[in-house]
Structure 1
């Protein structure tokens, strides 16, 4: 009987754990646009991972005799001014765009979460110093600030990741700070403090797990912002450098052929638009699925 009771308790705990996940997935799956976006992004990720096996041609080396060809049976999306296959370059460009977007958001989210948690939990002068510094950064347009950091750091993918993560970090810090302020006086936090838990344990074990919903949503939306800023830096010649394939760099090099070879601009622009739209729609779906106020 004791073993049966123990098994019953364990089953109930597992069901209680899985129930929120099932409810979250049920609500997310009802959002058709979010599900289509999720499928698209999963497919794009697979394409980026297996780009060397999927791309029909070398994205770096082209054939000058085949330059500026319109879409045809041999080159489905045409070729650029150096005879390189546009489809192959877009496939390899997905690698860079997704990598920069994910890395930049991961760094910005990690640092912003720590700073926002410290500011919201301790308050006082610490909160004042951290948040005023964040306000100063937010007072500048993010792209302009990213260009300034790139001018200091230099060109390249790694520096683009650093610049984008720095300029987007204040947004996450403010979101986390506001969430921490709203829950730090709850009873379970007071109880954890009363039994002698350290501040770090209270923040990371009791507060942050209960404010993850807005952080997840903002992080998903932030990936689209990072991809856009990566493309903008590449378009201006400050991001990924030729001959590497990146969507913004492809736009920048193709703008001079807009009238006689518009496919050089159309297809990279479509890739950026679809990817950014997919992340935005998925972020909206996650927001609706995680918002307890929308649950019936």
Structure 2
């Protein structure tokens, strides 16, 4: 009998040790899983390259230096519609502006709008979802019904409505795109909290007198942060698409600033005479959105424990 008790005790100790080591090694396991996903690695490399371009262009502008081949906003009508060549790699647009310089300059705008919009929607959505999921009752009903009403309207139409109320411009586009994505984060956080809040460690935190805000921040959100990170990564790709759509309609970033959607919108009249003016901005949007989707899918597979079971 003593032998069995001893073996059971050793087994419990091993399980406890494994439990303690798991949080420490979880990040490493996730990274190794992500590294094995070739598509996610490609997406990560592309995103890193885009971020490098955006930061380089932005820092050079702050320092008053021009590192791009040409001024992206300088127009020379005598050089309009020059097809791609050794001097202008992507050709020139209807105003004689270098397309390659404008594509590179537009990288910082698209990434900035995408990240800033996700930051807005993520912050507000997490707060609303946490309150709804933790408090429940009428609070949950009111918040989620508002979210459902917003979800019932296509995001681009809702963004256009916000832009109509706020006006045109970069800052307005960030706010509009950020607002339309709030319901997605609120629903994800609410569902995750509902599955976590009845666990023993949450109940124990309540018993010892922790405030609700502390319980949510210290005990609940850390257990759902992985889901939020995955959705935020995918959300950036959606924000880039929405930015391009608003720019295409003339509601987003205003001239003379280079923005891929605006470039598409202004070039659609030259689809037969100068198709490259549409191709290059379209390819830039496609590559950026694809990269964030690949990384988001890879993160989801790496974070989900079921995907690591072979």
The equivalent residue for 1:100 is 113
Q: Aligned ranges for residues 65-144 of structure 1 at < 5 Å?
A: 65-144=78-157
The equivalent residue for 2:268 is 255
Secondary structure at 2:182 match in 1: helix
Query: 1:45, 1:283 → 2: CA distance?
Result: 16
Q: Aligned ranges for residues 1-296 of structure 1 at < 5 Å?
A: 18-51=24-57, 52=60, 54-296=67-309
Could you list the runs of 5+ residues in structure 2 that have no partner in the other structure? Answer: 1-17, 61-65
Q: Normalising by the residue count of structure 2, what TM-score does the alignment of the two structures yield?
A: 0.90
Query: 2:21, 2:196 → 1: CA distance?
Result: 26
Query: 2:22, 2:189 → 1: CA distance?
Result: 27
Could you list the runs of 5+ residues in structure 1 that have no partner in the other structure? Answer: 1-11
Offset, 1:122: 0.4
Query: CA-to-partner distance for each residue in 1:123-164, whole Å, 9 max, x for gaps?
Result: 000000000000010010000000000001000010000000
Query: CA-to-partner distance for each residue in 1:239-295, whole Å, 9 max, x for gaps?
Result: 001110000000001111110000100000000000000000100000000001122
CA RMSD of aligned residues (A): 1.5
Query: CA-to-partner distance for each residue in 1:53-80, whole Å, 9 max, x for gaps?
Result: 5421100012211111100000000000
Residue range with higher mean Cα deviation, 51-60 or 198-207: 51-60
Query: CA-to-partner distance for each residue in 1:179-202, whole Å, 9 max, x for gaps?
Result: 000000000000111111000000
Q: Is the 8 A contact 1:233 1:239 kept in 2?
A: yes
Q: Normalising by the residue count of structure 1, what TM-score does the alignment of the two structures yield?
A: 0.94
Offset, 1:18: 3.9
* Number of equivalences: 285
Query: 2:198, 2:290 → 1: CA distance?
Result: 38
The equivalent residue for 2:63 is none
